[in-house]
Structure 1
Amino acid sequence: MFGSMKRGANAYANIGVETGVIAASPHKLITMLFDGALVAIALGKKSMGEGNIKDKGESITKAILIIDNGLRASLNKEVGGELALNLDSLYEYMSRRLFEANATNNPAILDEIHGLLDDIRSAWEQIGPNAVQSAAPPMAMTQDVSLSSFAKA
């Protein structure tokens, strides 16, 4: 009985997430990726502290996938120029460090990457959704936020 209720609740939650993604602005989609990675890192740290190797690995892997297949893959290097290239290098660094944190059970690395992602997320929020639609601000154009770029994730 409880298994089917849980499946129903999960299906309902998935529909809510899918609806949120479909209805989200390009700016909001990137914000959702940041939020997902930040939550995954926090859960990875919690699981690490509890000695739960399985959940730690799953959470950190999820964060890496969001960074690589979401944030990094959505960079528009042609339009974003040097800034997009720098973000690409930073995202690559974050993924390597998260892998290292997972392998060595080092929560300090998780804190480091969480802080970096949170800083970038804050900067992304500062430019606001209207800046993404204008061609003027270079930061706004460093993330290619078409829905097709998220199909891989």
Structure 2
Amino acid sequence: MFGTQQRGVNAYAKVGLETGIVSASPHKLIVMLYDGALVAVLSAQMHMKSGNVPEKGKAISRAIQIIDNGLRASLDKEVGGEIAENLDALYEYMGARLLAANLNNDITVLEEVQRLLTDLRETWNAIGSTPAATPGADLKRMPSLASA
């Protein structure tokens, strides 16, 4: 008649996640994607170490999906220019590396992708905590340009 306690916990967590997504800024949404990809990679590492092949595969697939359908899909190459192009190439590289890790059962590759995701997440957080520069503020500090 009643569901398991775990089902209730999962439902509660899902509602919390959905509420967080709806109320999150675009910047926070990217952080959440990085977090999700990192959790999936860490889960894959755990399952790889324990020999749980089906769960390892699911976790790696989840990480690839987040990277491809979340992080890569959110790139605007027209506005982002070279940075967006470079990120796209890096995300593509990470996806290929995750596939290789899955096929070869190579935990060092998972650790490599984990480091890349962690570095990108930290950089993204640093960008988000830096206030945007006022347009023209740099010109005021440069006498030759400010007086021109």
- What TM-score comes out, normalization by structure 1 length? 0.82
Q: Determine the C-alpha separation between the residues in 1 that align with 2:66 and 2:53.
A: 20
Change in 2 beyond 3 A, CA 1:27/1:130: farther
SS at match of 1:75: coil
Deviation per CA, 1:26-70: give whole Å up to 9, x if none: 110000000110111011001000000011011111000000000
Q: Do structure 1's residue 69 and structure 2's residue 69 form an aligned pair?
A: yes
Q: Determine the C-alpha separation between the residues in 2 that align with 1:71 and 1:134.
A: 25
Deviation per CA, 1:11-30: give whole Å up to 9, x if none: 11110000010011111000
Q: Determine the C-alpha separation between the residues in 2 that align with 1:40 and 1:118.
A: 13
Change in 2 beyond 3 A, CA 1:4/1:100: same
Give the total of aligned pairs: 135
Change in 2 beyond 3 A, CA 1:103/1:79: same
Q: Determine the C-alpha separation between the residues in 2 that align with 1:97 and 1:3.
A: 39
**Residue 4 of structure 1, CA deviation:** 3.2
The 5 A counterparts of 1:1-153 are 3-128=3-128
Report the more deviating stretch, 71-80 or 1-10.
1-10
- The alignment-based identity, stated in percent, is 56
Alignment gaps of 5+ in structure 1: 137-153
Give 1:139's aligned residue.
none
In structure 1, give the amino acid aligned to 2:18: E
SS at match of 2:75: coil
Q: Determine the C-alpha separation between the residues in 2 that align with 1:55 and 1:70.
A: 21
Q: Determine the C-alpha separation between the residues in 2 that align with 1:32 and 1:110.
A: 19
- What TM-score comes out, normalization by structure 2 length? 0.85
RMSD: 2.0
Larger radius of gyration: 2
**Residue 7 of structure 1, CA deviation:** 1.9
Q: Determine the C-alpha separation between the residues in 1 that align with 2:100 and 2:128.
A: 33
